[in-house]
Amino acid sequence: QLKESGGGMVQSGDSLTISCKVSGRTPDHVAVAWLRQVPGKERKGVSCISSDGETRYVDSVKGRFTVSRDYAENMVFLQMNNLNPEDTGVYYCAADETYSHCPTYVGGSGYEYDFWGQGTQVTVSS
């Protein structure tokens, strides 16, 4: 099971960190992805962290977003800096017990993940 928290409304240039609580049999053995959905558009991945801590990002967030995980607390974090209105959306964390490593390209729709959180809204105003 996955549960996001920490969304909110911020202004351009602000920072925000969202969290994902990962529970299950082996929460530290799965890769965890972050995906974003904007109304009327397909859900798209933005970042992923593997079970060994390797991280991946889509180009639009590289240098601004940082994904990390706390193995002791089974938490995954997405720190988002220098936010802009294009970062607005519902952010989901997702995982699948068969994947311990992130895909090479993390900007897909996430169809490969079986477990999803309920999402947390991030709104960035200009």
CA torsion sign for 111, 98, 2, 86 is: negative
pLDDT, the chain, mean: 96
pLDDT in tens, 6-28: 999 999 999 999 999 999 888 88
Q: Is the pLDDT of residue 88 over 90?
A: yes
Distance CA 111, CA 72 (A): 28
The whole-number average pLDDT for the span 67-71 is: 97
Token pair of 17, please? 């960190």
The whole-number average pLDDT for the span 50-75 is: 97
Percent helix, percent strand, percent coil in the chain, to nearest 5: 5, 45, 50
Distance CA 21, CA 3 (A): 5
